[in-house]
Amino acid sequence: MTKRTLRTLAAAIAAMGLLVESAAALEVASSATVAGKPDVVWQKIGDFCAIQTWHPAISKCAQSEEGGSTYRTLTTSDGGTVKEKLVEHTDTSYTYEIIDSPLPVENYRATISVSAEGDRTRVDWKSSFDAKGKSDSEAKDVISGIYKAGLDKIAEMSGN
Task: Please check whether residue 14 lies inside any domain of the structure.
Answer: no
Task: Please check whether residue 92 lies inside any domain of the structure.
Answer: yes
Task: Please check whether residue 3 lies inside any domain of the structure.
Answer: no
**Residue 71: beta bridge partners?**
64, 85
pLDDT given at position 23: 61
Q: Are 127 and 142 in contact (CB under 8 A)?
A: no
Q: What are the residues whose beta carbons fall under 8 Å from the beta carbon of 32, sequence distance 6 or more?
A: 122, 123, 151, 152, 154, 155
Count structural domains, the chain.
1
Higher pLDDT, 47 or 1: 47
Closest to 154 in 3D by CA, of 29, 33, 28, 30: 33
pLDDT given at position 17: 46
Task: Please check whether residue 42 lies inside any domain of the structure.
Answer: yes
Higher pLDDT, 11 or 41: 41
Check pLDDT > 80 for residue 51. yes
Range of the structural domain that residue 63 is part of: 27-158
Task: Please check whether residue 147 lies inside any domain of the structure.
Answer: yes
Task: Please check whether residue 126 lies inside any domain of the structure.
Answer: yes
Q: Domain holding 89: CATH number?
A: 3.30.530.20
Task: Please check whether residue 117 lies inside any domain of the structure.
Answer: yes
Q: What is the pTM of this model?
A: 0.83
For 132-158, the pLDDT digits (tens) are 999 999 999 999 999 999 999 999 999
Task: Please check whether residue 120 lies inside any domain of the structure.
Answer: yes
